[in-house]
């Protein structure tokens, strides 16, 4: 599943290609892709909407329109492509948004395309949501809170300080790994970046949150921000067939490195199952209770 750095990368690549264009029509090829509103209302409301911004909240893409917000959660296998207008829909395409032509620059020339997907920058192109496993969802809402009100703070925001993390950890009595994966506690982290941050902070994923002292909380805060920023800088991690184009997988400390030596101490990385999630740990660097 794409995590914060992968979704941020997608948003940054889509932004210059979508902003300023309008949606001519929508083709909903699998109705359950749409979480809200009902299909008839969706087609009526989205037609003619201008795309004003492309952003991210946690793992959600937030495409801000003239009057609405179009949220997309990619889940396990979702992906977004920009394709040529006359491209034949593929087997797993779930939603297709036909777009107006690329706006001209002030000098009269065409907008320069970026290397994202097939047919990028072609006049009259379309935005396609493809989802093999059908877990991804789309919302069209006026108020973003209808979708994201239950999310915790953004880990790269100014409001998310070391003190804020320390207080949140101390107010709960949960194992660190499941807590950091809880999107209501902290928004955007998934399996990869949680394992990486915990290793960098030298904290065991089974440690209980209210046992974390100030120095450990500060180290965890720094580690979370550093691994996310590095992930964004490297366009995310391409671990499986779903998300492509990133290179952070070449710089992982513990995730997906079972049986390999820790880059810090040389101890062999092991895999635990915590909360039904595969978890990667260095037994020496991440001693529980240390």
Active site residue 277: yes
Instruction: Return d(Cα 186, Cα 152) in angstroms, integer.
Output: 4
Cα angle 263, 59, 97; round to 5: 130
- 132-141 CB burial, b ≥16 within 10 A, e <16: beeebbbbbb
Long-range (24+ apart) CB contacts under 8 A made by 214-217 are 214/166, 217/162, 217/165, 217/166, 217/169
Residue among 56, 59, 126, 253 flagged as catalytic? 59
Q: Which of 129, 183, 184, 146 is nearest to 68 (CA)?
A: 146
Neighbours of 100 (CB within 10 A): 16
Active site residue 3: yes
SS3 sequence, 200-235? Answer: HCCCCCCCEHHHCCHHHHHHHHHHHHHHHHHHHHCC
Find all residues with CB under 8 Å of 109, minimum gap 6, and list them: none
Active site residue 59: yes
Phi, psi of 229 (to 5 degrees): -65, -40
Helix (H) or strand (E) holding 163: helix 162-170
Q: Which of 100, 162, 99 is nearest to 128 (CA)?
A: 99
Neighbours of 57 (CB within 10 A): 18
* 91's tokens: 């087997």
Residue among 75, 170, 277, 283 flagged as catalytic? 277
Residue among 3, 6, 8, 17 flagged as catalytic? 3
Q: Which of 174, 177, 210 is nearest to 193 (CA)?
A: 177
Could you list the active site residues?
2-3, 59, 277
């Amino acid at each position: 599943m794409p995590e914060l750095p992968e979704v941020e990368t997608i948003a940054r690549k889509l932004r210059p290609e979508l902003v300023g264009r309008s949606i001519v029509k929508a083709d909903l090829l699998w109705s359950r892709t749409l979480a809200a509103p009902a299909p008839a209302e969706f087609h009526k409301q989205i037609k003619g909407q201008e795309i004003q911004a492309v952003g991210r909240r946690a793992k959600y893409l937030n495409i801000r329109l003239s009057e609405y917000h179009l949220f997309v959660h990619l889940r396990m296998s979702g992906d977004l492509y920009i394709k040529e207008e006359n491209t034949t829909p593929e087997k797993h395409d779930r939603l297709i948004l036909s777009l107006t032509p690329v706006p001209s620059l002030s000098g009269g020339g065409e907008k320069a395309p970026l290397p994202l997907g097939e047919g990028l920058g072609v006049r009259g192109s379309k935005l396609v949501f493809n989802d093999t496993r059908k877990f991804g969802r789309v919302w069209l809402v006026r108020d973003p809170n209808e979708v994201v009100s239950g999310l915790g703070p953004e880990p790269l925001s100014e409001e998310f300080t070391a003190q804020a993390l320390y207080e949140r950890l101390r107010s709960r009595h949960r194992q660190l790994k499941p807590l950091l994966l809880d999107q209501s506690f902290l928004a955007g982290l998934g399996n990869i970046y949680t394992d990486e941050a915990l290793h960098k902070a030298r904290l065991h994923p089974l440690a209980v949150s209210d046992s974390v002292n100030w120095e450990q909380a500060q180290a965890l805060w720094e580690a979370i921000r550093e691994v996310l920023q590095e992930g964004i800088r490297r366009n995310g991690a391409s671990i499986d067939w779903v998300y492509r184009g990133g290179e952070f997988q070449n710089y992982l400390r513990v995730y997906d490195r079972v049986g390999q030596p820790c880059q810090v101490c040389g101890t062999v990385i092991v895999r635990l199952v915590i909360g039904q999630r595969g978890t990667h740990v260095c037994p020496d660097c991440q001693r529980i209770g240390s």
